[in-house]
Amino acid sequence: MPRLEKQFFERPSIELAGMLLGKIFIRRLPDGTELRGRIVETEAYLGIGDEACHAWRGRTERNSMMFAEPGRLYVYFTYGNHSMLNIVSEPEHTAGAVLIRAMEPLAGEPFMQMQRNTTIVTDLMSGPGKLTRAMAIDRSCNGLSLFEGEFCIEDAPALQEKEIGTSTRIGITRSRDLPWRRFIIGNPHVSRGKVSG
């Protein structure tokens, strides 16, 4: 399937959160290893009207990537232990991003198992902290583009509306009632409600 280009990401974050489900996230490591995961769970975050968003109070050095052009990675470190992977959305200079909460591993499982120290397939990337560790994603990846280099997202057949679940977001205390979480109903790789899984 073809790689998703910039115009795919130039849409409202809430819409993008649903559109990303089922798409294939890819990282190609320097040694040639290809890591692939199907996106099965997301959450949208907006700089306006969303107190859980890092950019709610305005632009800072830490959150500046949320204001970048759509299709870049926004990776931040949280809870002293987890890197979190987001895809920047919204028009440039307007803060917005979609948190990738869970993926289904498709290729590169031996590397992922070593990274996560587990052979349980449904545990490899069933949470935002798990998937970044499985794919060795950290703050050094912040700002990288999905249109060149080691990262990209491949297209996949669009899901039917009946396959997509909606709920309030997980693991936050502010703006927690906003129904901006999307997930593939019945997929065993969807997280269990914690930051790490």
**pLDDT (tens digit, 9 = 90+) per residue, 11-41?**
999 899 999 999 999 999 999 999 999 999 9
Domains and CATH numbers, the chain: 6-184 (3.10.300.10)
Residue range 107-125: mean pLDDT, rounded? 96
Task: Using the predicted structure, report yes or no on whether residue 192 has a pLDDT greater than 90.
Answer: no
Mean pLDDT of the chain: 87
Q: What is the pLDDT of residues 137-169, one digit of tens each?
A: 999 999 999 999 999 999 999 999 999 999 887
Question: Tokens for 12?
Answer: 């409202």
Task: Using the predicted structure, report yes or no on whether residue 96 has a pLDDT greater than 60.
Answer: yes
Task: Using the predicted structure, report yes or no on whether residue 50 has a pLDDT greater than 60.
Answer: no
Residue range 98-121: mean pLDDT, rounded? 96
Contact indicator for 188, 60 with CB cutoff of 8 Å = no
Which helix or strand (DSSP H or E) is residue 130 part of? helix 128-134
Return the biggest CA–CA distance within the chain: 43
Q: How far is it, in rounded angstroms, from Cα 3 to Cα 25?
A: 10
Residue range 171-196: mean pLDDT, rounded? 77
Q: What band does 178 get if pLDDT is binned at 50, 70 and 90?
A: confident
Q: How far is it, in rounded angstroms, from Cα 34 to Cα 54?
A: 31
Task: Using the predicted structure, report yes or no on whether residue 127 has a pLDDT greater than 60.
Answer: yes
Q: What band does 80 get if pLDDT is binned at 50, 70 and 90?
A: low
Question: Tokens for 96?
Answer: 């917005």
SS3 109: helix
Residue range 82-106: mean pLDDT, rounded? 89
SS3 2: coil
Secondary structure (H, E, C), 149-186: CCEEEECCCCCCHHHEEEECCCCCCCCCCCCCEEEECC
SS3 164: strand
